[in-house]
Amino acid sequence: MSISTEQIKEKAYLIGFNLYEIDSIERFSKIPPLSHSSSTLPECQSVIVIARRFLLSTLKANSTIPYTIIRNLLSSSIDMHTIGLSYFLEDNNYLVIPTGAIEPCNYNTDLQRTVGLISLKYAAYQAGLGIIGKNALLITQKHGNMIWLGAILTSAEFEPDPIMSENPCKDSHTLCISNCPVQALYGNEFMDQQKC
């Protein structure tokens, strides 16, 4: 039995994801080999990218502990739910690999940076969830950059969603760069991981 894009999205909605879009493997041509989805699953045809909204109120706390608690719990929740969605796909005879929301990671010697199994923000951009802003984070239309991402690699071939064309991060918007307390932002898709 083949599964449609609509069925996958309905399943993601019922699980409780706020955002979900689908990527085609063909859009990963510029990704370094270590972070390329086919390096993990050679039969990969699609990448399903999902997101949960982050709790905005944690930014008002006088401690970083509430933010860290939400980050850890969201990561666990996303991992459990992507595994659930993965079982659904595997039960329908597709190969499927959930990527993990934060860890474990690889060290890319070419880029000299720590990277995930795949680049979640790049996959999310290519799937149409948002754009990569000057703060090196994915920015969505609905939730800004206050989201947490996960993804599933699968041999299922789905129709990819359109890439977001409108960039809400205008050329004159530099507040994130000027307010970064450790000057780790350069206004592109990468930040200085050591400083951060």
137-148 residue pLDDT tens: 888 988 988 999
Give the model confidence (pLDDT) of 28-62 as tens digits. Answer: 776 766 567 778 888 999 999 999 999 999 999 99
Token representation of residue 130: 């948002």
Torsion region of 126: left, alpha or beta (phi above 0 gives left; psi -120 to 50 gives alpha): alpha
Give the model confidence (pLDDT) of 77-95 as tens digits. Answer: 999 999 999 999 999 999 9
Give the model confidence (pLDDT) of 87-123 as tens digits. Answer: 999 999 999 999 989 877 777 777 777 777 888 888 8
